[in-house]
Structures are given as C-alpha cells and as structure tokens.
Structure 1
Amino acid sequence: MKFILQPWQLFFIIIAGWVNRQQQEVIEYLRIENQVLKEKHGKKRILLNDDQRRRLAVKGKILGRKRLEQVGTLFTPDTILRWHKKLVTMKWDCSNRGKRKSGRPRLPDEVKQLVIQIAKENSSWGYDRIADAVANVGYKISDESVRKILKEQGLEPAPDRKRQTSWNTFLKAHWEVLAAIDFTTVEVWTKGGLVTFYLLFVIELKTRRSHFTGCTMNPHDIWMKQIARNLTDEDEGFLREKQKLIMDRDTTFSESFQMILNQSDTKPIVLPPRSPNLNAFIERFFRSLKSECLDRMIFFGENSLRNAIKEYMTHYHVERNHQGLNHQIIEPGEEVGQSAGEIECRERLGGLLNYYYRKAA
C-alpha cells in the first residue's frame, strides 16, 4: 500500500527542513565566530569566572559529548563536562552548611552615606548622637561604627568639626539675613570713545532678589559712601533687614563704606583672598545678566545702559524662572499658571528677553 502525503504534511516537512537549515546556519556562524575569537586570543588561556563556567557547564551537559564536539570550539567537551561534575559535587558538599560566619556584617553603603551626611551637617554632634539620629530612620548602628566611618572619611571628632564650620553651613545658618555685593563691568561707547562702566549689584541669597545700586566710570570713596547710605536707609534701603553683607577684598569697599554698614547693624563679611566661589550667588547672577543681556548688546551712552539694565531687572524678577528656586519666578504675576486664555509673548529689549503668558479673558 502506497503512503500518500497530505498537503499539510508536505508543508510541515518543508517548514521543518527550512527551520533545521536555519538552525544549522546559525550554529555554523557561531562556530566560525568562536574560532575567530580563539585565533584572536592566541595561545593565551581564556580565564572565566565561576558564573561563566556554570552557565557553560549547564548548557554543555544538556548537549552531551557528541554534540559538543560538533559545535564547541573554545573549550573541549571534557572541560565542559568536568565543570558540570564539579557543580554536582559542590551541590552535595555540606561541609560549610550550618557554620556561622565570624565578624559583624558589613554596613550598607546607604547607612555609611547617611552617617557622613549627618556628621557634615551637624558639626557639634558626637558619635552617640549621630548613631541615635541614624536609629530614628530605621538603621541600628553603634557609636563605634560611627567613629570608624568618620575616621575612614577623614572627619574629625565633634570638638574639632565644630571648629571647622563649612561655608555652606554658615550660609544656611544666616539664610534669612544674608546678602552679597559685588561689581561687574561693561564697555560703553561715549563721546570720548569706549569707556568702562562699573555696575554695582546686591543680591538676597535666600530669595535671589537683586538690586542695581548704580553705575559709574569711577567708583571713588564719596560715591561708595552714598551707595552705603542708600542701601541702609531705614525706609527704602535694600539692606534695611539684612544683618550680614558678603563682599570681596576689593579696595573699593573701603573702611568708610564698611563703617556706614556697621552703623546700621549690617556687618560686612570680607572674603579671603582669591575665593570667588565663596560669593557664588552673585557670580551666578552676573553670568545670567551678561549672557542674556550685556554681552548681546552694544551700548551708546549711559542712558542706553541704564535702560537695558532696568528692562533686564524687571524680566529677572517677574518673568524669569530660576533653577535655584525650583524653577519658580521670584515675583510671579497673577497670570502665572493660568490654563485658559490666548497665549501671548511679552518682548523686552527688541526680543532679546521674551515672556510667554495667557492673556486674561
């Protein structure tokens, strides 16, 4: 009796043959790839870790010696099977079971970082108090462990750390009453040619609110003393509620200038030499002022300069988002956050400064 293939059986055989051919081509490619890798590696021994040997041993045992000889190129079948035998032996090796490891378990990195953070932010805290603070958030740690962690980081015990208060800690402690002052310069075309103008600004560190105190070609002592009186005026002075004013060692901030500040209970904080990073807030303000306004314009006369600064300061306070304030506006208007109304653009300085808002219906 003749066996007649059904169409579906013939189709199945064709598909199976095609799949088998595809698999053989993949295997052949992998064999060639392994051979190339082996030739590239040369006669040097290929070093594997335990996990890599385990994976090869498990898969190699499934294939068996005969098929390993057909597809394996990097390692011999005996090597693969020897690894598998070792895995089996390790599985049934009970010699280390039930033994308790000596010593205390290692502290997680998260706990170590928390200890370091607390020590840096609280210079007067001792080991016990730091350990208690860590315990309050769910981590049990001894004072001796705290001591070891701080010693590894080069952090001194509490009495020494207390005498080494960081600049960041100082700023945070006086956040509400702290301001900074500094000069920047800009070139202006005048009848006498290109002239350097000195621009003096003050900034509140907490709010980032800034104040343009004035500009001059010669910041002499008389001009500076008048600036000090304006800043400390009891009614409208920008520094009337500030107790400390950060400044650099520029001789323009003369003794008479500082004396007027002291008389109004605003203590000058003079920075060490060559330390611009300690006045980073006003330096960051200057970078924005220059990149967004001063460096993009040519000024003809003092009036054009003052007008540009006036426009920028309005934009800075009521229209510009600030990263240091969590992307908020210093003095936001009522239109901020509205979801209804037509979107409009308010331009300043001929489109150099743009503000997008919704017009109230």
Structure 2
Amino acid sequence: MAWENPSWGYDRLQGALANLGYSVSSSTIANILKRHGIEPAPERGNRTSWRSFLKAHWEVTAATDFFTIELWTPRGLVTYYVLFVIHLATRRVCIVGATPHPNGAFMMQIARNLTDEFGGFLKGYRYLIMDRDRKFTDGFRDALEREDVEPVRCPPRAPTCNAYAERFVRSIREECLDRMILLGERSLRRALGEHGSHYVRERNHQGVGNKLLEPTNVIAFPTELAQRRERLGGMLNFYYREAA
C-alpha cells in the first residue's frame, strides 16, 4: 500500500488496513516501513515519482546511452564510443552509431536519423531518457524536441534511473564484446550486427516473460531433432526446431 500510494501517511495506511479487518497502530506501521527501508509519505512520494513517470509513459519512452570498446587498428589501440537506444516496453534495441569522435556533428546526425519520418527509431515515441553526459549536447536535445521527442535527463549521480540501458550494456559486454579481440571498425560493426540479430530474434528476455522479442518458426510440439544456429563462431547460440 505504501509504495502504491506514496502520499499516504501512517494514519491513512492505518485506516486502509482497518478496512481490511486489521487493527494496527500507526507507530507499528511506522516501524514496519522503517524496517523495510520505506520512507514516510513526503519522502516516499519524491522517491516514487520516477517510477510513476515510467509507468504512465511506458509505451512511448525509450532510453539511450554510450558504452566504450577498445579496437586494435593500424594506429594502435583506439577507443570507440557506441551509442544505442532501447524501447523500454518491448526491449527492442537500435545501435545508432559507433565512432572514436562523438562530437556535436555526429550527435546532430544521430538526432536526424532517430527522428527520420521514414524508419526513424524514435518515431511514435514521446520521451528519451539519457544521463548528463556532455556528449548529449544542447543541439542534440534541441533537435529531438523539434521532432516532439522530449529529452529526459537523469538526476545527477542516479545511474539506476537509466537501468534498462545499463542492463543492455551489461548483456552485450558479457555475451559478446568482452570475449572478443576486435581488429578495426569493420570487426566491431560485424559483432554489433550479429549480437543485434541474436538479441532480437534468438535471445529470451526475462523482462518480457522470458520470451523471444521476434519469435520465428518456433513450434509447440517437438518433432525433429533440435538444431543450433551459431553466431560469431559459436559465441552466440540459438536452439530451435523448424516448423513443418
């Protein structure tokens, strides 16, 4: 009740419990909330405002972030910045750019690509969550707003506000990039492409009921021997049976 009704104080919670036949003092309620790390009403309301925002705009909200990867090139080791966007409701991900120089011109082109009338990943979405990294420039945010996509900047020192993007970074690192030695940009783009196809079509996602995002030829009643589809030399695997 306390989480679902952030404005309810101890007395209001006491009354709601009485409606259900429970006689509990307000001091007992205070102790229970404190023991479980739940703040009193005013503070609890502030803490749950982010959760309430996500719940209210879940279907039209995406998140974006960068991660870095080291590439071996003829010039030596070079750091590349990979930018992606994830739609919260469906977990669909778009790798929108990879560059050693994420400057203002790069970000402006990304904004145009994301909001392109024909196939832009953010078309139909209303909000884009991002941290306060300076790479998300004023020009980038202004370009999004002109296309009716509102940038939502996370509070300072609050990485959990962009938890879905952080989880994707963890996944792509653990499943793919941290296990590879990448030789140049072409190698990176191939790895990103193969992981992207696996992520969408072949990887089960706990956040959407442990299902595939795009099921293909999965049959309910097994008849043939299972087959394995390999990507990146067996680093990413998918087991399936062809539908008859």
TM bin, normalised by shorter chain, reads: 0.7 to 0.9
Aligned equivalents of 2:172, 2:14: Cα separation in 1: 46
Amino acid corresponding to residue 269 of structure 1 in structure 2: V
Q: 1:244 deviation in Å?
A: 1.3
Q: 1:302 deviation in Å?
A: 0.9
Q: 1:321 deviation in Å?
A: 0.8
Q: Determine the structure 2 residue equivalent to 1:286.
A: 169
Q: Determine the structure 2 residue equivalent to 1:252.
A: 135
**Deviations along 1:223-249, whole A, 9 cap, x unmatched?**
101101111122311111221111111
Q: Determine the structure 2 residue equivalent to 1:104.
A: none
Q: In 2, are the aligned partners of 1:130 and 1:146 still within 8 Å (CA)?
A: no
The two structures have a TM-score, normalised by structure 2, of 0.88
Q: In 2, are the aligned partners of 1:341 and 1:360 still within 8 Å (CA)?
A: no
**Deviations along 1:32-60, whole A, 9 cap, x unmatched?**
xxxxxxxxxxxxxxxxxxxxxxxxxxxxx
Secondary structure of 1:120 counterpart? coil
Q: Verify: 1:140 aligned to 2:35, yes or no.
A: no
Q: Verify: 1:327 aligned to 2:203, yes or no.
A: no
Bigger RCO (CA 8 Å, 6+ sep): 2
Aligned equivalents of 1:170, 1:302: Cα separation in 2: 38
Once the two structures are superposed, the pairs formed by residues 69-80 of structure 1 within 5 Å of their partners are: none
214, 219, 238: which one aligns with 2:97: 214
Change (3 A) 1:125 1:253: same
Aligned equivalents of 1:222, 1:146: Cα separation in 2: 61
Change (3 A) 1:180 1:260: same
The structure that has the greater radius of gyration is 1
Q: Which runs of 5+ in 2 are unaligned?
A: none
**Deviations along 1:136-181, whole A, 9 cap, x unmatched?**
7xx3136xx4744443325434x66545534333322221111110
Greater strand content: 2
Amino acid corresponding to residue 332 of structure 1 in structure 2: P
Secondary structure of 1:300 counterpart? coil
Q: Verify: 1:156 aligned to 2:40, yes or no.
A: yes
Secondary structure of 1:351 counterpart? coil
Change (3 A) 1:192 1:333: same
Q: Which runs of 5+ in 1 are unaligned?
A: 1-117
214, 226, 236: which one aligns with 2:109: 226
The alignment yields a C-alpha RMSD, in angstroms, of 2.3
Identity %: 51
Change (3 A) 1:227 1:338: farther
Aligned equivalents of 2:30, 2:211: Cα separation in 1: 41
Q: 1:274 deviation in Å?
A: 2.3
Q: 1:275 deviation in Å?
A: 2.0
Q: 1:279 deviation in Å?
A: 1.2
Q: 1:330 deviation in Å?
A: 1.1
Q: Determine the structure 2 residue equivalent to 1:274.
A: 157
Change (3 A) 1:232 1:131: farther
Secondary structure of 2:119 counterpart? coil
Once the two structures are superposed, the pairs formed by residues 86-235 of structure 1 within 5 Å of their partners are: 118-125=1-8, 130=13, 134=17, 139-141=20-22, 145=24, 147-152=26-31, 153=33, 155-157=39-41, 161-235=44-118
Q: 1:184 deviation in Å?
A: 0.5
Secondary structure of 1:299 counterpart? coil
Q: In 1, are the aligned partners of 2:108 and 2:143 still within 8 Å (CA)?
A: yes
In the alignment of these two chains, the number of paired residues is 239
303, 317, 339: which one aligns with 2:186: 303
Aligned equivalents of 2:234, 2:46: Cα separation in 1: 52
Amino acid corresponding to residue 237 of structure 1 in structure 2: G
Q: In 2, are the aligned partners of 1:150 and 1:156 still within 8 Å (CA)?
A: no
Q: In 1, are the aligned partners of 2:129 and 2:152 still within 8 Å (CA)?
A: yes
Greater helix content: 1
Secondary structure of 1:180 counterpart? strand
4+ residue segments displaced more than 6 Å: 126-129
Secondary structure of 2:135 counterpart? coil
Q: 1:127 deviation in Å?
A: 6.5
Aligned equivalents of 2:68, 2:62: Cα separation in 1: 20
Aligned equivalents of 1:225, 1:198: Cα separation in 2: 15
Q: In 2, are the aligned partners of 1:121 and 1:169 still within 8 Å (CA)?
A: no
Q: In 1, are the aligned partners of 2:131 and 2:154 still within 8 Å (CA)?
A: yes
Amino acid corresponding to residue 266 of structure 1 in structure 2: V
The two structures have a TM-score, normalised by structure 1, of 0.61
Aligned equivalents of 2:81, 2:71: Cα separation in 1: 10
Change (3 A) 1:304 1:160: closer
